[in-house]
Amino acid sequence: YSGPIGCKPVSCGEVTPPAHAKQVADTHGRNLSSLVYGQQARYQCKPGYSRDGQLNSVKVLMNVTCKPDGALYYPSPCINNDDCASASNQCSQNGACVDNAEPTGVHFQDFHCACDSGFK
């Protein structure tokens, strides 16, 4: 007789990395790819992205957590920062600022000016 094995945490399975984010070590220094209840995987938005889309935002970290019902909880996603919100883009006179779809994280490389006819 081996006896009861006790209660084990519910498995949430493999974590699908959030879009536009990379995994970073959690508070225990781990990079977990599979979670059980009570665990979390930490992710950081890639350069040019944040969770609120604001230029120079500090909201770049997120935790994917394993819920008691075995489902993974994903917080708000990383979105492209609005580089056109900055007055430094200088596009508004005789053109319009266009935020690049794939940002680099370098502000002046992450937008371009769509100039009016007769301007370049």
Would you say 88 and 56 are in contact if contact means Cβ atoms under 8 Å apart?
A: no
- Tens-place pLDDT, residues 36-84: 999 999 999 999 999 999 999 999 999 999 999 999 999 999 999 999 9
The CATH code belonging to domain 11-80 is 2.10.70.10
Over the Cα atoms of the chain, what is R_g?
21
Q: Model pTM?
A: 0.85
* Sequence ranges of the domains in the chain: 11-80, 83-115
